[in-house]
Amino acid sequence: MNQAFLTGISGIQATQFAIDNNANNLANLNTVGFRASNTEFASLFEEKLNDANRGPVNSTVGIGVRVQATATDLSRGVAILGDRTTDLAIGDDGWFGISNGIDTLFTRAGNFNFDSQRDLVTEDGFHVLGTLGNNITNNVLTPPLAEVKLGDVAGQQPLNFPETLTYPVQPTTQASFIGNLGFENVPRSMSATIISPQSDRNNLRLVFTQSAVQPPQGISWDITATTGNANSSVIYDTQTGTAVFDSSGGLVSTTLPTLDNDGAPVSVNLGNGFDGVISVPNTPVTASSSADGQIQGDLIGYAISQNAEVIATFSNGAQSSIGKIAVYHFQNDQGLERVTGSRFSVSSNSGDPIFFKNAAGENILGTAVYTSQLEGSNVKFEVGLTELIILQRTFDANSKSITTSDQMIQKALDMDA
């Protein structure tokens, strides 16, 4: 009967713990990034039963139950539409890293925002960790980057993005032309918009006239190239040269030198053979051009790609990556130590955080990151409620066993009297 008491008491204690744990799960049904924990039980003691007449019997008797562990449910939570572009959700395996300068924690809750210092932080001020592009100096982009490579695990740092940022002017260095001059002795012209060091949109104009002296085969055109402001009211430079075409109309050579574009040199590319300017008869006369360079632009805003790149967009239409949010992985996610319902710390069971690598040995995220989305709690209400009912009945059964044992002891004492 004493054993019955111990069994009932241990059952009540273990079941009460499970009820509290399950209630905590249900209470965090709407907590972003919450990870449910499941209670695991084990027998307190077990004794094998033997029968001297029939030999060993495959049955045991225990004297109670204990809580063996609480296992974290690592299943993905429900997707929630976020209110901000800085609301992030990890598509597959992985954890965001956050730090308060002392402790580094890991979470699936991506409800981030910018603080007054333009740091990307959690709602309670933890800094989001990642790799900066180091391409900003005095609020000027230097230089634009298509992608920021994820650095080493130990080198991740708080992410800061300035409120004002300038995309520097990139003067034109080369203008390319494509077209057909035809074969008639008629002047032809082509033009291109080029960017000056002062971020002005200037004009480069080419005028072709057939040379007075022609080669034995093919055709030669004299070129007059002029750079000036947009309406050509101010001329910065004028250069001349010659373009020679073979008998089929393909460009053989050109002697046009570099021109001055209000303080910056710009070269003219007429192509080679039939991949640029040609001189072919009985074919429509055409002209088109392209030029590199970019005018100065001011920051419009930031966006985050599925590769967790932080992209700055500017008023001139240009974009540049300036950082990447890190996504960490572990050898044993189940071994992470719970700090809060949605935050975990490294333990000896989880191992140190790592980054996945591609075939080239570069660090990669290993998962997509979705913007304007959040990962909600992975608690399933119907499952939690059902388990709560079962646990409550288990509690009642253990309580009843104690009451029954007490009644039996009382009857035994009465019989002795």
Query: Are residues 117 and 103 located together in one domain of the fold?
Result: yes
- Domain ranges, residue 6: 2-74+377-416
Residue 121 sits in the same domain as residue 61: no
Residue 18 confidence (pLDDT): 83
What integer pLDDT is reported at residue 193 of this predicted model? 97
- pLDDT for position 15: 81
Q: Of the candidates 291, 317, 341, which is a domain's last residue? A: 291
Q: Which pLDDT tens digit goes with each residue over 5-48?
A: 677 777 788 888 888 888 888 999 999 999 998 887 777 666 55
Predicted local confidence at residue 48, as pLDDT: 54
Residue 180 and residue 244 share a domain? yes
Q: What is the pLDDT of residue 397?
A: 77
Q: What are the structure tokens assigned to 381, written together?
A: 């209400």
320 and 357, same domain (yes or no): yes
Domain boundary among the residues 291, 326, 355 is at: 291
- Residue 377: the pLDDT is 93
pTM for the structure as a whole: 0.78
- Do 192 and 156 sit in the same domain of this protein? no
Collapsing DSSP to helix, strand or coil, 49 comes out as strand
Provide the domain count of the chain: 3
Strands 319-325 and 309-314: antiparallel
Contact (Cβ atoms closer than 8 angstroms) between residue 219 and residue 251: no
Residues 336 and 347 in one domain: yes
> Max Cα separation, the chain?
141
Q: 194, 207 in Cβ contact below 8 A?
A: no
Query: Do 142 and 281 belong to one domain?
Result: no
Whether 318 and 306 map to the same domain: the answer is: yes
Phi, psi of 408 (to 5 degrees): -65, -40
Q: Which pLDDT score, from 0 to 100, does residue 68 have?
A: 78
**135 lies in the same domain as 155:** yes
- Same-domain status, 133 and 237: no
Q: Tell me what pLDDT residue 257 has.
A: 97
Q: Looking at residue 259, what DSSP letter applies?
A: E
Do the Cβ atoms of 131 and 149 come closer than 8 Å? yes
Query: Distance between CA 140 and CA 143 in Å, rounded?
Result: 9
Contacts of 357-364 with CB under 8 Å at 24 or more apart are 362/149, 362/150, 363/149, 363/150, 363/151, 363/152, 364/150
Residues 143 and 209 placed together within one structural domain of the fold:
no
Question: In the prediction, which pLDDT does 12 show?
Answer: 80
3-state helix, strand, coil in the chain (%, to 5): 15, 40, 40
Same domain, 162 and 306: yes
Cα separation, 36 vs 379, in Å, equals: 6
Q: How far apart are CA 174 and CA 46, in angstroms?
A: 85
For the chain, list residues with pLDDT below 50. Answer: none
Last residue in a domain, options 270, 291, 312: 291
